[in-house]
Amino acid sequence: MTLHLGAAIAHIASIRTELATRTGCQEWEQAGIRAALIATEGAPADVSAAACLAAGDPGLRLPSVNGFKAHWPKNASESPRTSHNVPCPDHPGEHDMPCPNPSTLTPEQVAQLAAEVKAALAAAPAYVPPAIVRAKNQEEA
Ligand SMILES: [Zn+2]
């Protein structure tokens, strides 16, 4: 969703606070409103309207994507969506999975890289937990 997030959060929080004052329902924290707004995909007008309608529902305990989707306006420009996109681990920031250009390493190249990693791990100094280091330093002092 693209809109003035801070203004939207403040507006939705004020709707909820007014409702809580009137009905005794739970108020919504701004961090939760922010997270739900960011996670809800759709046109800014649709997401904003759904969030405002959800904030006015005393039966909705917390702001959430599902809560917003349940209050999606009937005359919205499109149906609500939720992002399940997973970024490509090999090309983060470029595209989501599945990768259109998967790794073209040969099994021999993979084996070579694995051998290099194993050798680097074997050559690295052993990890000593910080608590053990502190204890040894105190014993010596
Ligand atoms: Zn990729």
Domain boundaries, the chain: 5-82, 107-140
Question: What integer best gives the mean pLDDT of the chain?
Answer: 89
* 67-115 pLDDT tens trace: 999 999 999 988 876 566 777 878 877 877 788 888 788 889 989 999 9
Residue 82: the pLDDT is 58
Asked if 80 and 70 touch (Cβ cutoff 8 Å), the reply is no
Distance from Cα 86 to the centre of ligand 1, integer Å: 11
* 23-45 pLDDT tens trace: 999 999 999 999 999 888 888 89
Distance from Cα 114 to the centre of ligand 1, integer Å: 20
Q: Who's near 124: CB < 8 A, 6+ residues apart?
A: none
Distance from Cα 120 to the centre of ligand 1, integer Å: 26
Q: Report the DSSP beta bridge partners of residue 82.
A: 40
Q: Is the pLDDT of residue 118 over 90?
A: yes
Distance from Cα 93 to the centre of ligand 1, integer Å: 9
Distance from Cα 85 to the centre of ligand 1, integer Å: 13
Structure tokens at 94: 């470029």
Q: Find the Cα–Cα–Cα–Cα dihedral 26, 4, 6, 87, rounded to 10°.
A: 80
Distance from Cα 83 to the centre of ligand 1, integer Å: 18
Distance from Cα 113 to the centre of ligand 1, integer Å: 19
* Total Cβ atoms within 10 A of residue 34: 17
Q: Who's near 94: CB < 8 A, 6+ residues apart?
A: 88
